[in-house]
Amino acid sequence: MKKIKKVVLEKLQKIIDFNYNSFFSRNILFITTALTLLFNSSMLRYFTVKNYFEIKPIVADIAIILFLSSFAYLFKPKKQITYFMTISIILTIICFVNSVYYTFYDSFASVSLLVTSLQAKDVGDAILKNILQVKDFVFLLQPAIIYFVYKNLKKNMYYIVEKVDYGKKKAIKTLIVSFVIFILFFSSLTGVELSRLNNQWNREFLVMKIGVYTYQLNDIIRSLEPRIHSFFGYDEVAKKITEYYNTREFNLKKNKYTNIFKGKNIITIHAESIQSFTMDLKFHDQELTPNLNRIASEGMNFTNFYAQVGVGTSSDSEFTLNTSLLPVSTGTVFVSYWDREFVTIPKLLKDHNYYSFSMHGNTGAFWNRITMHREMGYDRFYHKADFVIDEEIGLGLSDKSFFRQAVPIIKEIDEKHENFYGTMITLTNHTPFDEIEAYGNFPVDMEIEIINDEGRKEIVTVPYMEETRLGNYLKAVHYADAAIGQFISEMDEAGLLDNTVIVIYGDHDARLPRRDYVRLYNYDPYTDSVLSSEHEDYIPVDYYTYEINRKVPFIIWTKDGSIRGTANEVMGMYDVLPTLGNMFGFYSPYQLGNDIFSVKDNVVVFPNGNWLTNKIYYNNQKEEYLLLKEDVISQEYLDRYIKHAQDLLEISNNIVIFDYIKRQKETELLMQEYERR
């Protein structure tokens, strides 16, 4: 014990006697790089999760920066700038990309998105016009500062006059310091924090607690793990998945909607970025979405329906709707896991002699649809190359032209096949919502009565939502609504609605900033401004208001009105397959959702770990919840649904990553072959 105490005292004495002036003068570029990289990571947290003074992420960032910077000592002084610039650019890109990504998704990017980021060339305008902000360019100062410092050092003959530290010993010492800091950091983490680090899907929490650099390093490791585990960890995962499905109750009860549509055609309209709140809006006593409102009143309207998308946005909705599985925790199924086998609606309907097709006015390569739609069982995917591009709005063919050209194709399909299942993916209502003239002349302003200078009453028009991003979005929604109305009308004229069920769903919310909704709900027309938060009529738009408001339409409609009503139970995209399956007579043994008419107190689990019931919205990041009803929520209720959400995410993720469905089929075939012998 005395020896240990002596060694510690000697080390402390060395630290005290350390020549700091000499160290700073010989490591100017090293110190500048470390401090500016730490500044960048702190600014990222300041712009996003707001905990820039938290000690843990600062310690973690320092450890990563020291670890990476230590290798600079292996280079001779004049060559160190190349290495410092390299790590500066890499870590600056990490901060820049995550800042931009957080603006759009309220989350942080994954390294597995490097592949899907290639899609950005098709939505470049959306990024430039709607996402990039001045704050994002703050991070770009870091490499510029490094280069500026280097040029000044070189100009002042620093590399000739001063001795600059370098060599293996210096590198090893710095590495040891970084490892010691890492050990101290990890020893300070709680069990919850370590669990979140392992699960990875709660990205906001991770950046808050471990910093962006450690998060990104952990993300790289987690992104590689599935590829490794898919070869070595399958047996354990398969056991858990099998036990889950064997013990879970799926509420497969018959109800008044069972087989109601058996033998009928299905057309699903994938309504790009349409949110439910738009159906409640009027301007000048004109409904913003008259067609959707009419269809909802004539059919079955699901008023609490939520998309469950991750980074794959539209593609995640297509995947979840057709499989009743959730998006993966890293990357997207359409791009990263297209070669897996899934039980899908097109495949299930093929057993009932259905022909399946999908249509989209964008390029087939976008989100790898041209490949993934085939893998999901669609017999044909019609994309941009199959249409005459006579009117482009935004990313591709306008919805009105798309629907107009689609009807004759559907007519031909109907004549050749007994039944069909078609998915129509709309496009015009896609961010950046800047094709204002193309959307048509729908005003989103307001008329008010005032007393003019002459003392007379006068009607004047005030801007309200005009020339705002949300206002432009509303104009785009009005266009999309008109296109859907046109499509249904033309389908009717072609005689295609008599035996067809129309299903309309919003694929995800519009991802507009919270401040846009503040103006929508708190506009003062007499001052053309937003009400003060202290005003008695002010409606706050906090995190929960925003999340709850992200619900999207889901409507089932038939021409003969054979289904009509309102379903208020909370419902997610993964509940679509079981609900339609009950109506059309198909079932997936791997579905994670429920037939919404056979379940009470349903739960919607989101890919970030948040979940929603009729009673509460649970924020997994902050481990808190909002009561939606005046009710007492027990700890048992919370624990049950927290576990349910974690199980669902884990099971769904493993089914995809380990290609469980395909392997199960192979195992069953081997068993059958063995029994025959």
Q: 80-105 and 141-155 helices cross at what angle (nearest 10)? A: 160
What angle (nearest 5°) sits at the alpha carbon of residue 498, between those of residues 494 and 501? 105
Report which of 603, 590, 654 is spatially closest to residue 240, judged by C-alpha positions.
654
Buried b / exposed e across 288-315, counting CB within 10 Å, b at 16+?
A: bbebbbebbeebbbbbbbbbbbbbbbbb
How far CA 569 is from CA of 252, 379, 628, in Å, comes to 17, 34, 13
- Whether omega before 443 lies within 30 degrees of 0, making that bond cis, reads no
* pLDDT surpassing 90 at residue 25: no
Provide the pairing of β-strand 611-612 with 604-605. antiparallel
Q: Which amino acid is at 496?
A: L
What is the mean pLDDT of the segment spanning 436-450? 94
Distance CA 61, CA 65 (A): 6
* pLDDT surpassing 60 at residue 151: yes
Judged by phi (left if over 0) then psi (alpha if -120 to 50, else beta), residue 587 lies in beta
Question: Given this model, what pLDDT does residue 429 score?
Answer: 96
Q: What is the largest CA-CA distance in the chain?
A: 101
Higher pLDDT: 332 or 201? It is 332
Strand partners, 501: 266, 558
Report which of 510, 424, 414 is spatially closest to residue 468, judged by C-alpha positions.
510
Residue 454: pLDDT band (50, 70, 90) is confident
As a whole number, the mean pLDDT across the chain is 89
Task: State pLDDT tens for residues 30-61.
Answer: 999 999 999 999 999 999 888 877 899 999 99
- 492: phi then psi, degrees, rounded to nearest 5: -65, -45
Strand partners, 72: none
Question: Given this model, what pLDDT does residue 6 score?
Answer: 55
- Torsion sign (Cα): 172, 173, 177, 178: negative
215 SS3 class = helix
Question: Given this model, what pLDDT does residue 12 score?
Answer: 45
Percent share of the chain, pLDDT over 70? 90
What is the mean pLDDT of the segment spanning 469-482? 97
Q: Exposure of 53 by Cβ count < 10 A (0-12 exposed, 13-18 middle, 19+ buried)?
A: exposed
Which domains are present in the chain? 14-232 (no CATH), 243-252+265-676 (3.40.720.10)
Of the ranges 176-190, 220-234, 469-483, 592-606, which one carries the lowest mean pLDDT score?
Answer: 220-234
Structure tokens at 637: 């209720």
How far CA 23 is from CA of 18, 44, 163, in Å, comes to 8, 29, 10
Question: Given this model, what pLDDT does residue 9 score?
Answer: 46
Element (H, E) at 565: strand 565-567
Higher pLDDT: 375 or 136? It is 375
Q: What is the pTM of this model?
A: 0.78
Task: State pLDDT tens for residues 82-126.
Answer: 999 999 999 999 999 888 878 766 678 776 555 554 454 444 445
Question: Which residues, 6+ apart, have CB-to-CB distance to 301 below 8 Å?
Answer: 553, 554, 555, 565, 566, 567
**Taking the CB of residue 526, how many other CB atoms lie within 10 A of it?**
9
> Strand locations in 361-418, DSSP E?
380-382, 392-393, 396-397
* pLDDT surpassing 60 at residue 14: no
Task: State pLDDT tens for residues 125-141.
Answer: 455 555 678 888 899 99
């390294």: which residue's tokens? 111
Distance CA 243, CA 68 (A): 44
* pLDDT surpassing 70 at residue 515: yes
Residues in the chain: 677
Residue 226: pLDDT band (50, 70, 90) is low
């979940």: which residue's tokens? 611
What is the mean pLDDT of the segment spanning 601-620? 95
Task: State pLDDT tens for residues 153-163.
Answer: 887 777 766 67
DSSP 450: E
Question: Given this model, what pLDDT does residue 296 score?
Answer: 98
Q: Are 355 and 413 in contact (CB under 8 A)?
A: yes
Q: Which amino acid is at 361?
A: G
Of the ranges 208-212, 229-233, 653-657, which one carries the lowest mean pLDDT score?
Answer: 229-233
Distance CA 40, CA 42 (A): 5
> DSSP letter string over 104-124?
HHSS---TTHHHHGGGGGGSH
Q: What is the CA radius of gyration of the chain?
A: 29
Question: Given this model, what pLDDT does residue 201 score?
Answer: 56
Taking 3-state DSSP, the helix, strand and coil percentages for the chain, each rounded to the nearest 5, stand at 55, 10, 35
Task: State pLDDT tens for residues 535-589.
Answer: 999 999 999 999 999 999 999 999 999 999 999 999 999 999 999 999 999 999 9
* pLDDT surpassing 80 at residue 308: yes
